[in-house]
Structure 1
């Protein structure tokens, strides 16, 4: 179901108002000098155009070659030239202001996105966010660049033309003004409908962009899964939704312009008919009637411009809601607190009664309490879904506990600035993220200092990555492809380890860093990890016994609750599920098949608890 359908289903009313749009412009702060100059030039253009019908009236009423003076000719030519030059400059300046507005708006949104908490992105797809930033900002720019000038000058043109028309003939002017309220009575409700359709179109565009981004970023999964028919059907559905919104928008526009055209034609017929009668009776001159008709066009054309402005403004107002919602979203608290320096001595990290859930009614961790001692290796073991990765997210301060406290030394983590805390952390996950670019770009990513070539190579050497990097044709300048697709899993892991080494972390978080590797790659990566772990506080998530057996402390999590803490030997003696887990792996490693009541029973018990064992360990059984 699309975003707009969700809104409709929920029955959420949408307030229509220009205040959010003006509020957004207030944040952008466009150049008042350029905007004022552009509007002043537009006013000059309008003023020049208002004088032309008066020249025409005088020419028609007293036309003869002898009546054409140099001053009159110069006046007409000057009015046309002034109108052309002022109009051109106005368009350029408004275009410049519009580009400044969209650049500033995109800058504001981008800077905001970088400081929003992870929870914001949990609820939104990246493609939708990109669409909001690129497409919706373009809508706002279009209002300023293409339609604002027409709106302002249109108002001035209408006021000026109506004032002159009352001087020329107040009866004809009164007849003309009868049609304006009728036009407004039709256009106002159509404008409201345009707002709703435009808002739906923007939401659907963002949703479709998110789908496209997701499919294209996982194109290999799509092809290996033979999912082309599904993607084709979903894409077809998205295109049809956009098509339907486009048709609804077209229908509204198809009503707006014919209504204006119909009103204009009726007014012209009435004016020409009634005006012709007044000319015949001698009440007004032929020149006055022609001037009157020219002024009518100077009212009709601005009405169309104002209508276009209102239509585009409705679109911009719809886009504004989402952008303001993003800009007003609560940020991460990055600057508040103490700064942890690089030379700060390590301290213990304590979790005291920590409870957390992504949804309030579904806690993932329940009253978790244990201590991570400085300079030691703490392993976190447990069934899948027990909250191990969530625990890491809390240590990285992606989220705040619902209850309980995380402390560093005697202070809660919130007492330290977010930037200085995360600077202390090195993180290596099961599928360490690699960005499109070169190997060098990925190694130094996020470092706020210059990394020498010698330091870069030393980190690669400790991570056992130097061999394969230097064997590549372009070495450290080799392009790795989107998400590192040109590298093997083991190579990506070693680059991630080298990246962690360059950060010189005080706290190392290893999340299943070797579980997806083959045995040969695992040996190399484990040796690299040993280099990184030396002398550092390390927290390890792992299912393989070899990874956690030698840990200084093992914490066993089951369904978000700590059910055991100790060394391997202590847990083996006191924790039944850990003992079954260890027995199973040891027998598999020694090649002992066991009996139905032995290792097979252990395997089934472990799987029943949700323990994830490596494929090689299961097949060895």
Structure 2
């Protein structure tokens, strides 16, 4: 890290801390107490030197002992309070930082999560904030008090005997010639460890989240070998870090021994010549140890600071990203109007060609529109645009004559109920999953009504803890049909005006499909419904079927109309219904 990069890193860290709004009053009190601690600590060797120089029992008067005892008490009391206050300030900074980062992660655009592994993002929230926490709460306190102590001690040393002080500090420039290059190597290794730890964490999260897939495909050995590579890289970096520390520790010890030899040798000459007293030389030794301890703290601070720089840059990178403004736009609007897609086009940043190309069709209120077509034709992407997870590259979506971009995201999404093929179920109870996202108190009667309409109440009542039954991570304790019915109950409780179904029965067995299909019919009553359908049998009675092919609408109409006018739709129907093609 060159000088300009180091200054930039300092500014970045200070900016990050300022943005958390640290309590300045507590910080000011802590700094004043730190000065008092240092002043009391500096007074103790001077008082001790007088006792040595007087060299008689009369010097051990109650007054002198009282002064020394008072200095010790002041140093201990003010030091303890200042450390507590600085730690409290540090904890406030980290708490505020985590709060900012968590609130930011929740409103980042979906496109961020398309390109970043979940484990890597979790590492920002836990590991990186932990690194900054260690710097502020553990090392910053020692750094601040250490700087104050060293500056005060150096001033007193020059006052006691400036020639001996100059001799003592002459070793520092020579030490820097070795310490600086070693320190730079430590910076590189620290950043490497941090990056490798984040990558290893992301890999662990990926594998453990899909552990059943790993076991089902006998992939334990493959994943072990992948993980072993990460462990070996961390091991190698740890060894390199150990080598650097092995160089630094004896080097620092040698410097301390050299300084002691200089003080003893040259100090002894100064005492014998009468230039300084024995008490002053003794005070010199005490002050030397008062410098060594803070220097150790400062060295630890700079080591931790180098680790913190990478974490700071990554956290600031997340905090600077664009977010979804959930409240920008109209809060109230008329929902019972046609939903119109007008010349809608969209392509993912990583794709060479657009996924959707000039899509246009209209959905009447309280009607059912089915989206069908081959895999990869853009059906799910179309749903993502309706949910406003992405912005279209061109064209617009209208509700009546109003663009949905002019409606606040919170208001728009509150009108939508979405049930997918594998609706997400969170770890927790059935009650928590059904009530998820509903920002009001839900009565037991409302809960049972929604579950009843979703045909979920049937199996819930058979469970030991009923609605308080824990479902496990991602609902693993429930069957596919049970998870779908809970998802439908969740949508019913939300009371949406627009319903989006991504073939909610395609992955179910025939018995579960019948029950879920009945639940969906309850959910669809009186709502504008858009369905992604792979099985035409589920949408044969839809008011409108839109056929997507390679991102384009190639047909619109009812089932009977498309059977007569659309060749590929006829082919789809022939395969599924086993009827001959119509001429």
TM-score by length of 1: 0.89
Q: Deviations over 1:245-266 (max 9, x none)?
A: 3223333333333332222221
The offset of 1:580, in angstroms, is 0.7
User: Is 1:288 aligned to 2:280, yes or no?
Assistant: yes
Aligned equivalent of 2:460: 469
Q: List aligned pairs for 1:182-581, cutoff 5 A.
A: 182-340=174-332, 344-359=334-349, 361-581=352-572
The offset of 1:204, in angstroms, is 1.8
The offset of 1:438, in angstroms, is 0.9
User: Is 1:40 aligned to 2:20, yes or no?
Assistant: no
Q: Deviations over 1:275-312 (max 9, x none)?
A: 11222222222222111222222222222221111111
Once the two structures are overlaid, the 10-residue window that deviates more, 174-183 or 387-396, is 174-183
Listed as ranges, the gaps of 5+ residues in structure 1 are 1-12, 600-621
Partner of 2:358, secondary structure, is strand
Once the two structures are overlaid, the 10-residue window that deviates more, 260-269 or 106-115, is 260-269
Alpha-carbon distance change, 15 to 299 in structure 1, aligned in 2, over 3 angstroms: closer
Q: How many residues align?
A: 577
Query: Would the aligned equivalents of 1:369 and 1:562 in 2 still touch at CA under 8 Å?
Result: yes
Once the two structures are overlaid, the 10-residue window that deviates more, 259-268 or 14-23, is 14-23
Q: Deviations over 1:68-110 (max 9, x none)?
A: 2211111111111222222222222222222222211111111
Once the two structures are overlaid, the 10-residue window that deviates more, 188-197 or 149-158, is 188-197
Partner of 2:185, secondary structure, is helix
Distance 1:238 1:252 in 2: 21
The offset of 1:166, in angstroms, is 1.6
The offset of 1:37, in angstroms, is 2.1
Query: Would the aligned equivalents of 1:191 and 1:314 in 2 still touch at CA under 8 Å?
Result: no
The offset of 1:153, in angstroms, is 2.1
Query: Would the aligned equivalents of 1:354 and 1:365 in 2 still touch at CA under 8 Å?
Result: yes
Aligned equivalent of 1:161: 153
User: Is 1:78 aligned to 2:95, yes or no?
Assistant: no
The offset of 1:15, in angstroms, is 8.5
Aligned equivalent of 2:16: 24
Q: Deviations over 1:502-555 (max 9, x none)?
A: 111111000010100011111111111111111211110011111121111111
The offset of 1:482, in angstroms, is 0.7
Partner of 2:348, secondary structure, is coil
Distance 2:53 2:485 in 1: 90
Query: Would the aligned equivalents of 1:42 and 1:149 in 2 still touch at CA under 8 Å?
Result: no
Query: Would the aligned equivalents of 1:198 and 1:314 in 2 still touch at CA under 8 Å?
Result: yes
Alpha-carbon distance change, 173 to 186 in structure 1, aligned in 2, over 3 angstroms: same
Distance 2:404 2:247 in 1: 60
Alpha-carbon distance change, 405 to 320 in structure 1, aligned in 2, over 3 angstroms: same
Distance 2:394 2:184 in 1: 46
Query: Would the aligned equivalents of 1:195 and 1:318 in 2 still touch at CA under 8 Å?
Result: no
The offset of 1:143, in angstroms, is 1.6
Once the two structures are overlaid, the 10-residue window that deviates more, 194-203 or 117-126, is 194-203
The offset of 1:486, in angstroms, is 0.7
Query: Would the aligned equivalents of 2:38 and 2:75 in 1 still touch at CA under 8 Å?
Result: yes
Distance 1:155 1:247 in 2: 31
The offset of 1:244, in angstroms, is 2.3
Aligned equivalent of 1:87: 79
The offset of 1:122, in angstroms, is 1.2
The offset of 1:345, in angstroms, is 4.2
The offset of 1:387, in angstroms, is 0.7
Alpha-carbon distance change, 387 to 555 in structure 1, aligned in 2, over 3 angstroms: same
Query: Would the aligned equivalents of 2:369 and 2:542 in 1 still touch at CA under 8 Å?
Result: yes
Distance 1:566 1:398 in 2: 28
Partner of 2:425, secondary structure, is coil
Distance 1:79 1:487 in 2: 68
Distance 1:469 1:319 in 2: 46
Query: Would the aligned equivalents of 2:36 and 2:78 in 1 still touch at CA under 8 Å?
Result: yes
Query: Would the aligned equivalents of 2:428 and 2:471 in 1 still touch at CA under 8 Å?
Result: yes
Query: Would the aligned equivalents of 1:340 and 1:421 in 2 still touch at CA under 8 Å?
Result: no
Distance 1:14 1:563 in 2: 59
Query: Would the aligned equivalents of 2:335 and 2:399 in 1 still touch at CA under 8 Å?
Result: no
RMSD of aligned alpha carbons: 1.9
Distance 1:55 1:247 in 2: 47
Distance 2:180 2:412 in 1: 55
TM-score by length of 2: 0.95
Distance 1:345 1:414 in 2: 14
Listed as ranges, the gaps of 5+ residues in structure 2 are none
Query: Would the aligned equivalents of 2:87 and 2:141 in 1 still touch at CA under 8 Å?
Result: no
Query: Would the aligned equivalents of 1:30 and 1:101 in 2 still touch at CA under 8 Å?
Result: yes
Distance 2:16 2:60 in 1: 53
